[in-house]
Structure 1
Amino acid sequence: MTTAAIYVRISSDDTGEGLGVARQEAECRATAEQLGWTVTEVYRDNDISAYSGKLRPGYERLLSDVEAGTVRGLIVWHADRLHRSPKELERFIDLAERTRLQVQTVQSGRVDLSSPDGRMRARLLGTVARYESEHKSARIRLKMAQNAKDGKPHGGHRPYGWEPGRMIIRESEAAVIREATSRILAGEPLRSIFRDLNARGLHNASGKPWTHPTFRNVLLHARHAGLREHNGQEVSVAAWPAIIPPETWRAVRRVLNDPDRVTTPGRGGRLHLLSGIAVCGVCGSPLRVGHSRSTEAYRCMASACVSRRRDRLEEYVEAVVIARLSRADAAALLAPEDDGGERERAAQAAERVRQRLDDAAASFASGVITARQLATITGQLRPELAALEAAAAPPPDRASVLGELVTAGDVAKAWEALSPDARRTVVRLLMEIKVSRGRRGPGFSTDGIEIVWR
């Protein structure tokens, strides 16, 4: 009696239930029974394409066992379950010849790799399978491009903020996206936001706690703005509604993609109140905390123009903030600023620039302009678009940042209760701080500290 192994594989398993490989295995076992073979091992690769070139753990383990001589017979549902690459097929043929492996398929019977005719048949089947995979891949790419152009969604797992059909907003999650967007535009770090959400039990679409990469990726999805992206480019207005306005999403994207954005605490995991917020009054560079004569100090990191004791400068700024929020007219700080329509005009101008970029891409696609001309046009328009998008960015939601402080009976106590991230967000929202050299002598001097209210 021949001892045999079964190999089963399916390229795509959207449900994650493994039903496709289970059906293959059942039919392979039936074939083994007909042949009088005893199945000793089943090798599985679920949701892995043979055409993609990705490592298939089950397949690699099978080859190792064939090489070791522990597998003498192999049953597969169809030869294309084993290979869709001529390179892989040749490797398998060489191994089968050396080990005299018997190969049987459910669909087409025996595959004799010991004879020239059998190997030719296997190669022909492999060539056909490769053609079918390439043809299918081309059809899928065309379909995905057309779906994107029409504003339709692709398939896949349920995205956060949306019901399984990907067309209807899930309001409970959409509220989280809106809140996070507002907090990011107010200057709060991503880390602080998702940690807060996790503490409140507001987890991702899989029900798991947020991590930095997954939370960032969710907020960068164009679908939340009612836009359709394809290959990283905006291609159309989506067929689904928007959770947040497009200009708000673009502002968030600009913040999260800013290479100069500081996203981690300083030395020892400490987050200093004014790092990166206060600037040097001499050269305009951001101030960071360093050591000056064994004392922590805010220093100009570009040219060492300024050095001020960290604790004294922070105490002064905190006192100014608390005093302003304790005033009778503090509620006025919650009112959104009136920009006289500047943001709307910038948004309209940005849309016109995007249309010019789309027209240039269409002209290149139709052969009207060359690749060099397209690059020139794009190079000129991209900086203009970035400036307009920055001007069109919505203002931070001041009420969400300052509301609890303004309404607190004891502002100083409410300030102390805030996290370091939240305090930095308040300072960034309320003021611009320039620090110049102070007068020499004992004690801390407020000379040279300029605070401009936003």
Structure 2
Amino acid sequence: MTNRNRKSATAPAIRCAIYTRKSTEEGLEQEFNSLDAQRESGENYIKSQANEGWECLPDRYDDGGFSGGNMERPALKRLLADVEAGKVDCIVVYKVDRLSRSLLDFAKMVETFDRHQISFVSVTQLINTSTSMGRLMLNVLLSFAQFEREIISERTRDKIAAARRRGKWSGGMPVLGYDVDPRGSKQIANEDEAARVKTIFELYLEHQSLIATVQEIDKRGWLNKRWTTRKGHERGGKTFTKTSLHKLLTNVTYAGKIKYKEEVHEGEHVAIIENEMWQRVQSLLARNGRTGGAAVRNKFGALLKGILHCVPCGCAMSPSHSTKNVTKRYRYYVCTSAQKRGWHSCPSKSIPAGEIERFVVGQIKCIGRDSTLLHETITQAQRQGQSRVATLETELKGLDRELMRWNGEIRKVVGQIAPGEENTPATDRLADLQDRIRGAEKREAEIRAQLITLGREIVDQPEIINAMALFDPVWDSLTPREQTRLVQLIVERVDYDGSSGKLSITFHPSGIKTLADKIAGPKTESAA
């Protein structure tokens, strides 16, 4: 027996683990992919060292679709656990950067290897950490690998920044109301979802509370954006929460803009929400920042609390007061912007509460006496009612289209299920489609009921005259709290422009009808 054969017979076996990694999942579905090629190269190298007692472990340590910039990789964690357990003597990789692109992370791993007397080999770079020269070469290569990764990251960030500053979409998850065009280069409006987004903004302006708006969205069975990835996987479609609703309401995408960090730029896509509505929602969100829209005590009976707005600043006017000699209280409505930025920033500043409240109540009383004002009120109420009807009809059409698409998909899925098959992706998809159809059909029924109700709420001139005739004698007999509730029942918002002294009142779409029912109802009951 030769000396070489004697060495081979007596040398202890060196257990070699091959680690492979690929940054993206692209191509991993192929029969022979990049991970297989890396492993084959490692196996061939180990075979070349068979005379030294090298043996390839059968376990595969493959990380497909994971970055080398961190250690959050399942196969790597499993490999390090086996190293700690003493199951590995040598680690073989195709190239150093397959194990790590971070010098700091690799230094930590080398410490672990040294502690357990593990050697490390890079097949294509002829590196072996059992020698001092191998360690030096390894550190040099890792430095360049980390430098390359940082350069790539900087270039990517610069490219995204430049694209967004030009108003271009730079990728990411689509949002409700938009789809991504087939080329993936820009966002295009989704007609049905865009109508839904606009309704959500209107619901928040109506309820003035995130929680109340979420509850209304839940009643309608609406979900967040659901989309299908290029590989056919479904994402999103979760129910709304207070957090996700706030994120939607503050997303500048809906105003036709693109955001990069703290910068906001005009976008190439079509805006879903008009600027006036967008500003109203942002002002309301800012005002409700501390309470989330929850009801706040109205200690001194401010009739216009929550509905009076400063036109020049586009923000709310909040009730305030001052006292003189502890016996007399003066009430005001103050522009919140003027309070924060200084009185010089706002032409409206403040206005006496009693004066503007008497004016608004006087305007309500005058509706039935002034034929011109009466006609304008009827027109405004009818226009708002028609707008609500149009919104509901648009949603109804969208639901019809979704039901047709889902029913068509059900027929396809049923054809893919073999008799006796259970708990397959096809059966799961079928159950999901059936749930969606049930939710859509329930929402359809609710919309049809709302349309019927809106039809009944359409006001005509005799109803308004009758309601306004009853308003005067009833008003003075109400408590301050009841007066506040009555005003806010029929008035949606009051806009005050301090620079011109003009004041405009916007009524709720069905406010006059509701007022007539509230005032006339008790009288009818007593007469009965």
TM range (shorter): 0.5 to 0.7
Matching residue of 1:100: 117
Amino acid at match of 1:140: T
Q: Distance in 1 between matches of 2:455 and 2:290?
A: 31
For the residue of structure 2 that corresponds to 1:186, the secondary structure is helix
- How has the CA–CA distance of structure 1 residues 78 and 196 changed in structure 2, closer, same or farther, with 3 Å as cutoff? farther
CA distance in 2, matches of 1:77, 1:285: 70
- Structure 1 residues 310-389: aligned runs within 5 Å: 334=381
Equivalence for 1:150? 166
Deviation for aligned residue 1:227: 0.7
Deviations 1:193-250 (A, max 9, x none): 344444544322223333333333233221221112110321x211111111234334
Q: Any idea what SS the aligned residue of 1:74 has?
A: strand
Aligned to 2:79: 62
Q: Indicate the residue corresponding to 2:130 in structure 1.
A: 114
Q: With a CA cutoff of 8 Å and minimum separation of 6, indicate the structure with the bigger relative contact order.
A: 1
2:41 aligned residue: 31
The answer as to 2:187 corresponding to 1:167 is: yes
**Which residue of the partner structure matches residue 240 of structure 1?**
269
Residue in structure 2 matching 1:408, options 456, 461, 468: 456
Q: Give structure 2 stretches of 5+ with no counterpart.
A: 1-12, 48-55, 226-235, 307-319, 321-364, 369-373, 385-449, 460-476, 495-528
How many corresponding residue pairs? 310
- Find the aligned partners of 1:209 and 1:26 in 2 and give their Cα distance: 41
Q: Percent identity?
A: 24
- Give 1:42-441 correspondences, 5 Å limit: 42=61, 44=63, 46-47=65-66, 49-51=67-69, 55-105=72-122, 108-164=124-180, 165=184, 166-205=186-225, 206-234=236-264, 236-258=265-287, 260-263=289-292, 275-276=295-296, 278-281=298-301, 334=381, 407-408=455-456
Q: CA RMSD in A?
A: 4.3
Q: C-alpha deviations, 1:51-104, integer Å up to 9, x for none?
A: 3x5744543443233122123333434311322222222212222223232434
Q: 1:331 to 1:254 in 2, by over 3 A?
A: same
Larger radius of gyration: 2
Distance 1:282 1:258, change over 3 A: closer
Q: CA deviation at 1:162?
A: 1.7
Distance change in 2, residues 1:284/1:257 (3 Å): closer
Does the CA-based 8 Å contact 1:32-1:39 persist in structure 2? no
Q: CA deviation at 1:134?
A: 1.5
TM-score for the superposition, normalised by structure 1: 0.56
Counterpart contact for 2:303–2:483, Cα < 8 Å = no
> How far apart in 2 are the matches of 1:230 and 1:90?
35
Aligned to 1:348: none
**In 1, distance between residues paired with 2:276 and 2:76?**
48
Cα distance between partner residues in 2 of 1:10 and 1:157? 23
Per the alignment, in what secondary structure is the counterpart of residue 168 of structure 1?
strand
Structure 1 distance, partners of 2:28, 2:244, is 25
Q: Is the 8 A contact 2:101 2:146 kept in 1?
A: yes
CA deviations on 1:100-150 (whole Å, 9 max, x unpaired) are: 3243446x2553112111111111111101111111122112211211121
Tell me if structure 2 keeps the 8 A contact 1:4–1:40: no
Q: Is the 8 A contact 1:226 1:246 kept in 2?
A: no
Q: Which amino acid aligns with 1:212?
A: K
Which amino acid is 1:38 matched to? L
> Counterpart in 2 of 1:342?
none
TM-score (norm 2): 0.49
Q: Output the CA distance in 2 between the equivalents of 1:54 and 1:222.
A: 35
Q: Which SS does the other structure have where 2:479 is aligned?
A: coil
Q: Which amino acid letter does the alignment assign opposite residue 213 of structure 1? A: T
